[in-house]
Amino acid sequence: MLIAPIMSILALAFVVYLYFSIIKKSTGTPKMKRISDAIKEGSLAYLKRQYKTLSIFIIIISITLALALNYKLALAYVVGAIFSILAGFIGMNVAIRTNVRTASAARKGLAQALPIAFRGGAVMGFCVVGLGLLGISLFYYLYGDPSIILGFAFGASTVALFARVGGGIYTKTADVGADLVGKFEKGIPEDDPRNPAVIADQVGDNVGDVAGMGADLFESYVGSIIAAMIIGALVLGPSGVLLPLVLASLGVFASLIGTFFVRVKPKGDPSLALNKGTFSACGLFALFAFFLIWYFDFSIGIFYATLAGLIAGIIIGLTSDYFTSREKSPARKIASSAQTGPAITILTGFSTGLFSTILPIIGIALAILVAWYFAGIFGIAMAAIGMLSITGIIVAADSYGPIVDNAGGIVEQAKLGLKVRKVTDSLDAVGNTTKSICKGFAIGSAALTALALFLTYSQVAGLKVIDIMNPYVIAGLFIGAAIPALFCALTISAVSRNAFRMVEEVRRQFKKIPGLMKGKAKPDYARCVDIATKGALKELALPGVLAIISPLIVGFLLGKEALGGLLVGSIVTGLVFALLMANAGGAWDNAKKYIEAGNFGGKGSNAHRASIVGDTVGDPMKDTAGPSLNILIKLMSIVALIFIPLIIKYGLL
Amino acid sequence: MLIAPIMSILALAFVVYLYFSIIKKSTGTPKMKRISDAIKEGSLAYLKRQYKTLSIFIIIISITLALALNYKLALAYVVGAIFSILAGFIGMNVAIRTNVRTASAARKGLAQALPIAFRGGAVMGFCVVGLGLLGISLFYYLYGDPSIILGFAFGASTVALFARVGGGIYTKTADVGADLVGKFEKGIPEDDPRNPAVIADQVGDNVGDVAGMGADLFESYVGSIIAAMIIGALVLGPSGVLLPLVLASLGVFASLIGTFFVRVKPKGDPSLALNKGTFSACGLFALFAFFLIWYFDFSIGIFYATLAGLIAGIIIGLTSDYFTSREKSPARKIASSAQTGPAITILTGFSTGLFSTILPIIGIALAILVAWYFAGIFGIAMAAIGMLSITGIIVAADSYGPIVDNAGGIVEQAKLGLKVRKVTDSLDAVGNTTKSICKGFAIGSAALTALALFLTYSQVAGLKVIDIMNPYVIAGLFIGAAIPALFCALTISAVSRNAFRMVEEVRRQFKKIPGLMKGKAKPDYARCVDIATKGALKELALPGVLAIISPLIVGFLLGKEALGGLLVGSIVTGLVFALLMANAGGAWDNAKKYIEAGNFGGKGSNAHRASIVGDTVGDPMKDTAGPSLNILIKLMSIVALIFIPLIIKYGLL
């Protein structure tokens, strides 16, 4: 009964321990400190403005919820939003303090730098699971009704929308802005301090990849647990409500132990270290889950269902890695095709992305079948729990990426020399792999969570059957299938528009600030951060409204069956598009890096130029549109779930 | 009772009339004749080889059908394949005779050239509807059982697979091969006779756009009529079987009259002429349909259902035109973004394509709802009939495109001068619009036909309900959603691979044939045609097998509910991807043409170079992968329908 709050407090205590173990490390030279402070300042400026807009949004929705449904739900909503914000705030604050310490430790070598960076990431990871679990248990012990806790998930979704979609637009705005003017027009290298957008770019890594990914997985984590609790209550009664909570707690514990396996010898392989951590967490969780289910005499089928989800998660992660890694043939084939110019580079990358969708989807389909076979509809929800059990260490490994990326940038800007840069580069190479694994994991878990939420929806809506021969369901499916496409169109064009504003500003600074190119004057970093921030929050409005309003429109006009069709339609195409964009984007990115490592003519060759085109195309796909789809499909399901009582009462049909 | 065979014979008589009215026109100078003969030779060479491979395929499948199901079905299959081949063969043969006559008439002016080109296209259009209607009535009067006629549709599907997918790979292979070496490496203009791939390129226009599109719509036409007949038999009895046939016959008649509205004055607007033809056919068909349904005392709801399909078809066509036309803002926005380089060109075009999916899908969803509201499940099938009623004139207007494209090529190669080229260019500009409208129409009708076939499948399989909360259905939906992505990946990479072979050959000829660049020696056109042909047929195998085998695997392993899910999953994502690829591709194409018309720096500018990248990326999307999806979704539904008795008998579940 008490294991969930205990484990969540343990996770948060671990965060405090990590924080103090990081903060006592050296921040290096004063110059390094200055750069790090600029990143810190920019990140906090972004967060501050985001929170301001966000809080207005949260107030409006919570009042709506309180008036239209009930005040308990509204309370859960507000707390869910605050907890997600808190996780993001703490995680990012520690991440931006860890980057400079990682850079400083890199001067001593790999074995010193890796654990610091990983610990920095682990703060985010354990904030996500600790606060998620704490919030859910809090409301469960307060109200005893899992459907009230849905408000908590909705709050998490709202924050995820801002953090992931807004952060995604922000990060690519800054990236494209920095590259287009700096690299192409002015010919200065990446991360050069003369570039006015360089700080915005590094801030982007934090707000997009740390805070955005954290909020995304916070939403999946919370959503899947609550969905399983609601279905568990219907299927197994009280014990079915507690089981998901307890299993999730064991996952936290397994992840926590897993972090201690992340160590590397001076000349060791850092990617091996991270993999050891992840896989031992998986193994431990499976062991714990088996004993729990056996000891408390649950059906062993529930264990198989949970395991199926965990394995599907691993398959998706490994597929993403295969299709995007610089060591594997798909990215190398793209690199080779870059020799014939940008058009074939785009086509090869695009078809790589398309290819990459099939295996994860078959994996998810099999997991669904296995889970259902062994444990029915509850099994499918438990598969989502299984996949998300290791969220702690997955987010840790993912947040490690932007930390070492930032560390590399600080090394470059503080001119610490080639040897140090080599250490951060080798840390960064691993960061890319963990990033793509985590991306695949985030997509798979979003799909499974959305599916669990959809099944919960169908139960709560009292739908005995949703028949795809019913024209309302068909219409819902068709419209649902088009929404991810529309959402991608909106987010991609948002990046283009916002990047354009950024380019103008960077050009203006190079023109108007005398001595900037010669390094004699400092650019106005803050203004670039400000433009990216304002633009991102503005551009977020339309896709955000679309995600919230489309299930309501379809629900009220076409009824609850059509709404079910809409959810499923958006989940399936959302999944296909998310995988396509993440993997095509990752493959283009690594094809470019493979060429930059000296293959097919290396830097400055025609192949390199073509690969840059591929990378630029892939950037908003993999970092904005693709991840935003995770939010879209979950948010739509949660909105449907929350508003179904009103739809039943006031709907046209 | 006899209206269908009478109307089909009328359509074929019209074809004969058109043929003689075309063939008596002048073929121009001997040089023009020579060029036209080379195109003819290449096209026939392609067809011959395709038919050879195809016949082996047809024999194997028909024997399988005869042994596993029954010989009547096998017979219908063989005849369906032969009729589709016949339509393609006649249509293409006339098209390749019309191009040189159009070029010759262009010397006298627009008013002379347009009717010839349109009549050439009309041959294909009326072959499709005439032979389609003839075959269906033949088998209906022979066996009286619409489910036997399904074999006819399956035969048409097999040919469509070869003609559309194989033709699509062929045409882009030749196009990319000709452009990459000719335009970029050697710097010679488009359609230059020194380019060894120039004939293959023009052949490609015919085999891809004329024969491929014809076979695609032949399949939709036949499939939708048969689906409506089967459902009609279940819902209304014998009169429900005849009604679709009779309505389709009226559509043929309306199209036939519509062709007489296609006329233009010497300085007139050729696009207006084609639109007049199409819209008068629509209006007439609506009128005829209303009187028929009213006179024979059918429920008026059936008329509304038919009308809903027709209107949805028009919406889709107009949307495609809006998103791809050079006169409208989307293509111009892409052209403007080309000034910032290829990456943003790709992103803008890609998001344009994504945007373009939403309206047609809402249109289809509404058509489904309206059709069902007024006439139940039969109404949905009748909506497909309504959309396809004007197939005759739509295919005519579409086949007009490659004819005038070829005519332009002949004018260029025969050096007839700028004035004549201007005439063919203005004809060609219209060809592009009709092409994109027809592409949208082909996609919409494929989706509606596939949906009608799916509903027929569910009836034949005896499925009272296909519940999307059933895990088998969910698994089927997920896998079905991934198949279009995989199919696109296969076809796009097939083009890359095959184009690579072509590029090698063209390079080899420029190197090995002395005097070629100076125009003193003739290139070996036939070898290029041969390479593109062989490669296309080879590359076709894998996607073709995937389309046929995936419904069988899912059906036999996971059961008929899962198969239903698979079909719907593939229809919805297939539709989204088909619209995305067709419209993005068309928009890139026209953005390039807009720049070439002198905007944003015109030919040779940076914007132009970037727009060429967009066009090259779009080419295999819009001409290979996109249209192939039409075939995929219909073929999968037909395979499911044909093999459902075996799946019920021998399936694992």
Whether A362 sits inside 8 A of B482 (CB atoms) is: yes
Provide mean pLDDT across the span A332-349.
Answer: 93
Burial of A648 (0-12, 13-18, 19+ CB in 10 A): middle
What would the pLDDT profile of A565-610 be if each residue is shown by its tens digit? 999 999 999 999 999 999 999 999 999 999 998 999 999 899 999 9
Q: Give the type of residue at A457.
A: Y
Number of C-beta neighbours around residue B572 at 10 A: 30
Asked if the C-beta of A553 comes within 8 angstroms of chain B's C-beta atoms, the answer is: no
What pLDDT, on the 0 to 100 scale, is given for residue B644?
94
Lowest mean pLDDT, pick from A420-434, B322-336, B549-563, B611-625: A420-434
Residue B503 has pLDDT above 90, yes or no: no
Provide mean pLDDT across the span B79-102.
Answer: 94
Kindly state whether residue A604 falls inside one of the protein's structural domains: yes
Provide mean pLDDT across the span B169-197.
Answer: 84
Whether B617 sits inside 8 A of A348 (CB atoms) is: no
3-state secondary structure of A1: coil
More confident residue, A144 or B455: B455
Size of chain B in residues: 653
State the sign of the Cα–Cα–Cα–Cα dihedral A453, A457, A460, A462. negative
Whether B358 sits inside 8 A of A482 (CB atoms) is: yes
Asked if the C-beta of B341 comes within 8 angstroms of chain A's C-beta atoms, the answer is: yes
Distance from CA of A461 to the nearest CA of B (A): 13
Distance from CA of A623 to the nearest CA of B (A): 14
Of A467, A488, A620, the CB nearest to B465: A467
What pLDDT, on the 0 to 100 scale, is given for residue B521?
86
Of the pLDDT bands very low, low, confident and very high (cuts 50, 70, 90), residue B518 is: confident
What pLDDT, on the 0 to 100 scale, is given for residue A628?
92
Distance from CA of A445 to the nearest CA of B (A): 15
What pLDDT, on the 0 to 100 scale, is given for residue A271?
80
Buried b (16+ CB within 10 A) or exposed e, A334-373: bbbbbbbbbbbbbbbbbbbbbbbbbbbbbbbbbbbbbbbe
**C-alpha pair distances (Å), B57 with each of A249, B88, B484, B589:** 58, 18, 23, 35
Domain that holds residue B396: 3-20+39-650
d(CA B550, CA B552): 5
Computed over its alpha carbons, how large is the radius of gyration of chain B? 23
What pLDDT, on the 0 to 100 scale, is given for residue B281?
94
The mean pLDDT of chain A is 91
Whether B467 sits inside 8 A of A472 (CB atoms) is: no
Burial of A298 (0-12, 13-18, 19+ CB in 10 A): middle
At what angle are helices A342-355 and A329-337 packed, to 10 degrees? 160
Work out the percent of chain A whose per-residue pLDDT is above 70.
100
What pLDDT, on the 0 to 100 scale, is given for residue A48?
86
What would the pLDDT profile of B410-446 be if each residue is shown by its tens digit? 998 888 888 998 888 888 878 777 777 888 888 999 9
d(CA A390, CA A432): 19
Name the residue of chain B whose CA is nearest to A482's CA. B358
Asked if the C-beta of B647 comes within 8 angstroms of chain A's C-beta atoms, the answer is: no
Chain A CB contacts of B180 under 8 Å are 340
What would the pLDDT profile of B243-253 be if each residue is shown by its tens digit? 999 999 999 99
Distance from CA of B35 to the nearest CA of A (A): 31
3-state secondary structure of B128: helix
What is the DSSP code string of B351-414? Answer: HHHHHTTHHHHHHHHHHHHHHHHHHHHHHHHHHHHHHHTTHHHHHHHHHHHHHHHHHHHHHHHT
Distance from CA of A104 to the nearest CA of B (A): 36
Whether A481 sits inside 8 A of B613 (CB atoms) is: no
Helical (H) or strand (E) element with B611: helix B606-620
Provide mean pLDDT across the span A77-81.
Answer: 96
What pLDDT, on the 0 to 100 scale, is given for residue B110?
87
Kindly state whether residue A29 falls inside one of the protein's structural domains: no
Q: How far is CA A504 from the centre of its chain?
A: 30
State the sign of the Cα–Cα–Cα–Cα dihedral A272, A591, A606, B345. negative
Burial of B614 (0-12, 13-18, 19+ CB in 10 A): buried
d(CA B611, CA B339): 9
d(CA A521, CA A514): 7
Of the pLDDT bands very low, low, confident and very high (cuts 50, 70, 90), residue A516 is: confident
What pLDDT, on the 0 to 100 scale, is given for residue B177?
85
Chain B CB contacts of A350 under 8 Å are 492, 617
List beta partners, residue B467: A467
What would the pLDDT profile of B221-245 be if each residue is shown by its tens digit? 999 999 999 999 999 988 899 999 9
Name the residue of chain B whose CA is nearest to A185's CA. B340
Cβ under 8 Å to A: B residues 229-268: none
Distance from CA of B110 to the nearest CA of A (A): 36
Distance from CA of A588 to the nearest CA of B (A): 12
What would the pLDDT profile of A627-643 be if each residue is shown by its tens digit? 999 999 999 999 999 99
Whether A613 sits inside 8 A of B489 (CB atoms) is: no
Of the pLDDT bands very low, low, confident and very high (cuts 50, 70, 90), residue B2 is: confident
Kindly state whether residue A280 falls inside one of the protein's structural domains: yes
Whether B347 sits inside 8 A of A617 (CB atoms) is: yes
Kindly state whether residue B29 falls inside one of the protein's structural domains: no
Kindly state whether residue B132 falls inside one of the protein's structural domains: yes
What is the DSSP code string of A448-490? Answer: HHHHHHHHHHHHHTT-S--BTTSHHHHHHHHHHHHHHHHHHHH
What pLDDT, on the 0 to 100 scale, is given for residue B515?
86
Kindly state whether residue A33 falls inside one of the protein's structural domains: no
Whether B481 sits inside 8 A of A361 (CB atoms) is: yes
Kindly state whether residue B33 falls inside one of the protein's structural domains: no
What would the pLDDT profile of A195-206 be if each residue is shown by its tens digit? 888 888 888 888
Asked if the C-beta of A46 comes within 8 angstroms of chain B's C-beta atoms, the answer is: no
Whether A576 sits inside 8 A of B485 (CB atoms) is: yes
d(CA A380, CA A364): 10
What pLDDT, on the 0 to 100 scale, is given for residue B182?
82
Can you give the pTM of this predicted structure?
A: 0.94
Closest among B584, B569, B583, B560 to B641, alpha carbons compared: B560
Asked if the C-beta of A469 comes within 8 angstroms of chain B's C-beta atoms, the answer is: yes
Chain B CB contacts of A620 under 8 Å are 347
**C-alpha pair distances (Å), A247 with each of A123, A440, A451, A634:** 21, 22, 19, 22
Structure tokens at B19: 């043929």
The mean pLDDT of chain B is 91
Number of H helices, E strands in chain A: 21, 0
What pLDDT, on the 0 to 100 scale, is given for residue A349?
96
Kindly state whether residue A32 falls inside one of the protein's structural domains: no
φ, ψ dihedrals at B467, nearest 5°: -90, 120
Provide mean pLDDT across the span A138-167.
Answer: 91
d(CA A203, CA A574): 28
d(CA A470, CA B625): 30
Asked if the C-beta of B129 comes within 8 angstroms of chain A's C-beta atoms, the answer is: no
Number of C-beta neighbours around residue A48 at 10 A: 10
What pLDDT, on the 0 to 100 scale, is given for residue A55?
92
Lowest mean pLDDT, pick from B38-42, B306-310, B485-489, B633-637: B38-42
Distance from CA of A490 to the nearest CA of B (A): 8
What is the DSSP code string of B178-246? Answer: IIIIIIIII-PPTT-TT-TTHHHHHHHIIIIIIIIHHHHHHHHHHHHHHHHHHHHHHHHTHHHHHHHHH
Residue A1 has pLDDT above 80, yes or no: no
**C-alpha pair distances (Å), B401 with each of B51, B407, B414:** 24, 10, 20
Number of C-beta neighbours around residue B621 at 10 A: 30
Closest among A168, A624, A622, A259 to A440, alpha carbons compared: A622
Structure tokens at B127: 């072959």
Whether A372 sits inside 8 A of B471 (CB atoms) is: yes
Distance from CA of A467 to the nearest CA of B (A): 5
Q: Calculate ∠ Cα B616-A573-A380, nearest 5°.
A: 150
Asked if the C-beta of A377 comes within 8 angstroms of chain B's C-beta atoms, the answer is: yes
What pLDDT, on the 0 to 100 scale, is given for residue B414?
87
Residue A431 has pLDDT above 80, yes or no: no
Cβ under 8 Å to A: B residues 620-639: 620
How many domains does chain A contain in total? 1
Provide mean pLDDT across the span A476-486.
Answer: 97
d(CA B28, CA A574): 55
Provide mean pLDDT across the span A43-57.
Answer: 87
**ipTM of the shown complex:** 0.93
Name the residue of chain A whose CA is nearest to B613's CA. A343
Whether B365 sits inside 8 A of A474 (CB atoms) is: yes
What pLDDT, on the 0 to 100 scale, is given for residue B267?
76
Whether A362 sits inside 8 A of B493 (CB atoms) is: no
Of the pLDDT bands very low, low, confident and very high (cuts 50, 70, 90), residue A270 is: confident
d(CA A304, CA A386): 10
